[in-house]
Amino acid sequence: MYEHAVLAEGLRKRYGGRRGHTHALDGLDLTVRPGTVHGLLGPNGAGKTTAVRVLATLLRHDGGRAEVAGLDVGRDPRAVRARIGLAGQYAAVDEGLTGRQNLELFGRLFHLGARRARDRAAELLDRFDLTAAADRGAGKYSGGMRRRLDLAASMILAPHVLFLDEPTTGLDPRGRGEVWNAVRTLVEGGTTVLLTTQYLDEADRLASRITVMDRGRAIADDTPDGLKNRVGGDRIEVVTAEPADLAAARAIVARLSDGEPVVDTHERRVHAPVADRVTALTEVARALQDHRIAVDDIGLRRPSLDDVFLSLTGHGTDEDRATDEDRATDEDRATEEVRAGTDTDTDGAAA
């Protein structure tokens, strides 16, 4: 059994352009433990999709090394493809076929044989709660149902590692919840999931560990709570009812907290880090009442992954810094190539 489901050491990938070369991956290091959901986060152009394409053998890397399910992606890509699944940003299903027909088609492409393909399709339809809609055209599915069908298609051969690249892009909250439940079910069955996403709440809910990427490199790797603790732990926040009371509220918070308060005069808000969250909240509330300071809001706040991004990168996840990575091979075709086990791709991945 392999120690790491995914391992990358010094991984590099360069794209050429009219203005010279762009380093989509610039020495990426990544380790993913088997049987977990590992989040790969970063702003647009950080290199997330390129990393997935290299690990899925759709692109050749220019430097470093990578292993997936214990196999070297450069030396043994065919064997790697037999152990992985890939679901891209958009559901790669045929909307003219029923859900059942889509899965049986993928099964036949994987040479399962007619009977085994039918049986496997039935298993997956049940696993992803699609049996009732199995004989309905996929074009009539909701967004969440199409994504679940797409995940089912990626699981035809029960892959050791599943790459999910922005799996809930464009879905409404209900559809996102359906996909999240499906991912949890996969991991409970032993599948390792590498999840790339710009939705920080998605990574927070699903991933047991997160790697933050920026400009082609990993700049942080920790549990969600560990990342949040890097930006200061719990904070107490007070919003005064009157601007004139803000200075007095700041003095109270400064005396009873464990760090320098930050004041936002526009929002009449003051906040500061605290070590003992319950004691701090009780004492600050009592002191405000004793000084007859009216407040619109008071409470405790944990740092979010948004705070982590701002702290680590200086910008949010949605900043538009598109690179040549965003103009790489068409993703839907790439997804089909992995599922069908084809030996070539438009960027010359190893066969």
What is the secondary structure of 66-122 as a DSSP string? EEETTEETTT-HHHHHTTEEEE-SS----TTSBHHHHHHHHHHHTT--HHHHHHHHH
- How far is 121 from 100, CA to CA, in rounded Å? 6
Judge if 163 and 264 occupy the same domain: no
- How far is 240 from 270, CA to CA, in rounded Å? 8
Which tokens go with 252?
Answer: 């109270």
Q: Chain-wide mean pLDDT for the chain?
A: 86
pLDDT of residue 315: 59
pLDDT of residue 273: 86
Provide the 3-class DSSP secondary structure of residue 45: coil
Domain of residue 315, CATH code: 3.40.50.300
Which tokens go with 20?
Answer: 């010279």
- How far is 238 from 299, CA to CA, in rounded Å? 7
According to DSSP, residue 160 is labeled S
Provide the 3-class DSSP secondary structure of residue 155: coil
Percent of the chain with pLDDT over 70: 88
Task: Tell me the per-residue pLDDT of 230-287, one tens digit each, with 9 for 90 and over.
Answer: 877 788 999 999 999 999 999 999 999 988 898 999 999 998 888 888 999 999 999 9
Judge if 238 and 166 occupy the same domain: no
pLDDT of residue 230: 80
Judge if 169 and 252 occupy the same domain: no
pTM of the full predicted structure?
0.75
pLDDT of residue 323: 47
Domain of residue 263, CATH code: 3.30.70.100
Taking each helix axis from N to C end, the angle separating 99-109 and 331-340, rounded to the nearest 10 degrees, works out to 60
Cα 277 from chain centroid (whole Å): 30
- How far is 14 from 25, CA to CA, in rounded Å? 7
How many residues does this entry show for the chain? 351
Task: Tell me the per-residue pLDDT of 307-346, one tens digit each, with 9 for 90 and over.
Answer: 787 778 765 555 444 444 444 444 444 444 455 454 444 3
172-176 own/partner pairs: CB under 8 Å, 24+ apart:
172/143, 172/144, 174/144, 175/142, 175/143, 175/144, 175/145, 175/147, 176/144, 176/202
Q: Domain range spanning residue 280?
A: 234-301
Give the chain's domain count: 2
The sheet carrying 209-214 orders its strands as 84-87, 161-165, 192-197, 37-41, 209-214, 217-222
According to DSSP, residue 210 is labeled E
Q: Which residues of the chain have pLDDT under 50?
A: 319-337, 340, 342-351
Q: Is residue 347 part of a domain?
A: no
Judge if 260 and 152 occupy the same domain: no
